[in-house]
């Protein structure tokens, strides 16, 4: 049988079943919507390999993640400026569009696949170290994350300004959050008002279209039963409490930073994007000026020059790696690897992350499991998603149901713990992918999967809002392709463990309330040989549990710290300029002096928005002064 070629406009799939027709059409249309053909024509990589660069660029942006996509798009709004955006990865695969397949792209070529160094204090259940996925794809980690839109606590940004960074307090940065936002939840917008939310920005912020109200009500009612308040908008007037947050989703599909900021720029001829471009170093001259970058493209070494600025937006791991490979970093460390020191700065230090410890509950354990019924339900859910963009595949369990609590002081306005909740319906493959993503030891994975056969699983993920002892990123060698050394320093401070134990006790109380009991909630016993020798349910047991099960919430920040001249631990100034290097800035999560209390994607996009304003204002003034001469 002859098969007609498929195009982005194809709607007729021949004599296929209705389900297959819908699936294929939606997959094709979704991919075309993300990646317009005009973007292909503006990937100048092949031309650069054959002929060199035909354009002189005003700005070069390294990394098309949550910071880089924003700054490249915003700078290219000025038609007089030519912008080159270099991304080490390629286009995101179709799986990234579908929220329910979020774990399918982890540990693939779209992920840098980092591991931390082994520790004797945390992550003991992970044979290879704690896994740190980072997006190696257009959109960066915003293309593979869980899509929660959480800004953090207003005091986070007030603290940044108090540390000597003028212009970064909450009232100053709020407008940049709002400038990005296109809030699709009109009820929430009307409730909180325009003081906190906005419509019309490039970043779609909406509701996960999942029919999970039963489990959501169990969690929220259980939280209220033990004294916590309900909060309809954790990005509004107050952060504390339990409620449903929004995500970077639109009509049941992911809205990554690339989709939000690069797709609207598809017709701008002054913005070039090169995929699969691995930047190996910043080119620095003898005057301490950044001239551009050197990068690898399909085995060819290329050099691109920037007349105005080079902007590093490679993320909290890759940004310090590139800086150190370029000779900007701790002098002793660089000298030990034979790297010429261009500027002695504390690059790679101040590494902070949100430490995650999972607490597992099983539901409906007495109900018999019907494998055939589960398969039929799976088919129905696939059909439901691709036809209407609703159902389990339109979200990630109840991950949009979050709690911000203070385990020590119930009247505090700042949380010490965030609880993210993920509900895994029995019969779906997502739970196996979830625990496989973290990389627990085989015995632990087997024991959890056995429990999953006997009931639904709810993961209450305990997330510590502040890390007491920062970690660090170091080079292993001068090889730009070798993963750097990540020393996470999880649970180095006993108070962190104590916070986890207090959070466990709160979740245990919730699990014994009527809303939970109605659904036969039971604690899942994780098999940990050394912990099982301790007194059952004692604080000592839960400390042992925490030190074994410590994972990452995948929010590394701080490795190119922002600070004033008096802050000897800082790398960039409040304008995000690398200290002592002219023409080089950092625009990503690595500039955070302290980690925000909540998911870090929205704050990183805000950083991109504010940086774009600072860079644009600086160069517009220079251009205007030149015109007067």
Rounded to a whole number of angstroms, the CA Rg of the chain reads: 24
Compute the distance between CA of residue 349 and CA of residue 472 in angstroms, rounded to an integer.
5
Phi and psi (nearest 5°) for 311?
Answer: -120, 115
Phi and psi (nearest 5°) for 367?
Answer: -80, 135
Contact (CB, 8 A) for 39 and 85: no
Tokens describing residue 620: 């517009």
266-280 exposure pattern, b = at least 16 Cβ within 10 A, e = fewer: eebebbbbbbbbbbb
Closest listed residue to residue 607, CA positions, set 598, 615, 619: 615
Between the CA atoms of 351, 239, 195 and 99, what dihedral angle is there, to the nearest 10 degrees?
A: 70
Residue identified by tokens 């019309």 is 200
User: Between 539-549 and 494-511, two packed helices, what is the crossing angle to 10 degrees?
Assistant: 110
Question: Given its phi and psi angles, is residue 348 left (phi above 0), alpha (psi -120 to 50 degrees) or beta?
Answer: left
Contact (CB, 8 A) for 296 and 303: no
Give, in order, the Cα–Cα distances in Å from 251 to each of 46, 155, 433, 454, 532: 35, 33, 25, 33, 46
| Residue 24 burial class via C-beta count within 10 angstroms: exposed 0-12, middle 13-18, buried 19 and up | middle
Compute the distance between CA of residue 318 and CA of residue 626 in angstroms, rounded to an integer.
36
**What is the helix (H) or strand (E) element at residue 186, kind and residue range?**
helix 186-192
Between the CA atoms of 175, 612, 606 and 270, what dihedral angle is there, to the nearest 10 degrees?
A: 120
- Please identify which of the residues 333, 364, 555, 618 carries the catalytic annotation: 555
Closest listed residue to residue 30, CA positions, set 263, 269, 377: 263
Q: What residues contact residue 433 under an 8 Å CB cut-off, 6+ apart?
A: 103, 104, 106
| Residue 409 burial class via C-beta count within 10 angstroms: exposed 0-12, middle 13-18, buried 19 and up | exposed
579-618 exposure pattern, b = at least 16 Cβ within 10 A, e = fewer: eebebbbbbbbbbbbbbbbbbbbbbbbbbbbbbbbbbbee
Contact (CB, 8 A) for 416 and 466: yes
Is-catalytic flag, 555? yes
Residue identified by tokens 């002695």 is 344
Q: What residues contact residue 3 under an 8 Å CB cut-off, 6+ apart?
A: 14
Compute the distance between CA of residue 211 and CA of residue 312 in angstroms, rounded to an integer.
41
Compute the distance between CA of residue 567 and CA of residue 575 in angstroms, rounded to an integer.
14
Tokens describing residue 15: 């004599």
Closest listed residue to residue 28, CA positions, set 43, 46, 11, 47: 11
How many other C-beta atoms lie within 10 A of the C-beta of residue 187? Answer: 9
DSSP letter, residue 426: T
Tokens describing residue 411: 């009247």
Compute the distance between CA of residue 560 and CA of residue 351 in angstroms, rounded to an integer.
9
How many other C-beta atoms lie within 10 A of the C-beta of residue 237? Answer: 11
Give catalytic residue positions: 555
């Amino acid at each position: 049988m002859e098969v007609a070629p498929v195009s982005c406009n194809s709607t007729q799939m021949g004599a296929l079943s209705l389900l297959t027709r819908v699936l294929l059409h939606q997959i094709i249309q979704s991919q075309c919507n993300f990646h317009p053909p005009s973007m292909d024509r503006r990937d100048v990589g092949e031309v650069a390999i054959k002929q060199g660069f035909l354009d002189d660029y005003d700005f070069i942006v390294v990394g098309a993640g949550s910071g880089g996509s924003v700054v490249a798009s915003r700078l290219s709004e000025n038609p007089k400026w030519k912008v080159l955006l270099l991304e080490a990865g390629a286009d995101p695969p179709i799986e990234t569009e579908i929220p329910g397949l979020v774990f399918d792209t982890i540990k693939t070529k779209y992920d840098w696949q980092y591991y931390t160094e082994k520790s004797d204090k945390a992550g003991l259940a992970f044979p290879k170290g704690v896994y740190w996925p980072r997006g190696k794809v257009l959109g960066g980690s915003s293309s593979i994350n869980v899509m929660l839109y959480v800004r953090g606590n207003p005091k986070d940004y007030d603290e940044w300004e108090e540390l000597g960074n003028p212009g970064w307090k909450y009232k100053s940065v709020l407008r940049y959050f709002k400038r990005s936002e296109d809030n699709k939840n009109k009820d929430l917008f009307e409730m909180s008002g325009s003081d906190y939310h906005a419509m019309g920005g490039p970043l779609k912020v909406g509701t996960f279209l999942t029919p999970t109200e039963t489990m959501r009500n169990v969690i929220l009612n259980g939280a209220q039963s033990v004294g916590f308040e309900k909060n309809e908008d954790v990005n509004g007037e107050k952060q504390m409490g339990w409620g449903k947050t929004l995500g970077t989703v639109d009509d049941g599909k992911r809205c990554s930073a690339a989709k939000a900021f690069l797709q609207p720029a598809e017709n701008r001829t002054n913005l070039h994007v090169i995929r699969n471009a691995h930047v190996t170093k910043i080119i620095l001259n003898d005057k301490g000026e950044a001239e551009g970058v050197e990068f690898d493209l399909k085995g060819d070494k290329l050099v691109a020059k920037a007349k105005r600025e080079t902007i590093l937006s490679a993320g909290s791991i890759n940004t310090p790696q590139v800086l150190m490979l370029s000779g900007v970093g701790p002098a002793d460390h660089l000298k030990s690897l034979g790297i010429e020191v261009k500027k002695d700065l504390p690059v790679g230090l101040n590494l902070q992350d949100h430490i995650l410890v999972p607490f597992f509950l099983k539901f409906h354990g007495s109900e018999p499991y019907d494998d055939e019924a589960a398969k039929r339900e799976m088919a129905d859910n696939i059909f439901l998603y691709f036809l209407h963009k609703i159902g389990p595949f339109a979200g990630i369990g109840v991950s949009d149901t979050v709690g911000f609590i203070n385990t020590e002081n119930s009247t505090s306005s700042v949380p010490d713990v965030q609880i993210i909740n993920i509900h895994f319906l029995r019969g779906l493959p997502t739970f196996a992918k979830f625990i496989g993503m973290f990389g627990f030891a085989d015995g632990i994975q087997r024991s959890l999967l056995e429990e999953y056969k006997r009931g639904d699983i709810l993961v209450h993920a305990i997330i510590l809002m502040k890390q007491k002892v920062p970690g660090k990123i170091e080079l292993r060698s001068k090889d730009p392709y070798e993963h750097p050394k990540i020393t996470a320093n999880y649970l180095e401070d006993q108070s962190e463990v104590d916070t986890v134990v207090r959070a466990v006790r709160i979740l245990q109380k919730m699990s014994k309330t009527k809303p939970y009991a109605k659904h036969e909630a039971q604690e899942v016993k994780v098999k940990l040989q050394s912990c099982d020798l301790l007194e059952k349910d004692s604080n000592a047991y839960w400390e042992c549990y925490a030190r074994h099960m410590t994972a990452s919430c995948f929010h590394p920040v701080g490795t190119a710290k922002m600070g004033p001249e008096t802050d000897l631990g800082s790398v960039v100034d409040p304008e995000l300029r690398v200290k002592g290097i002219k023409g080089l800035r950092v625009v990503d999560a690595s500039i955070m002096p302290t980690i925000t209390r909540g998911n870090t994607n929205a704050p990183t996009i805000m950083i991109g928005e504010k940086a774009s304003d600072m860079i644009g204002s600086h160069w517009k003034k220079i251009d205007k002064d030149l015109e007067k001469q």
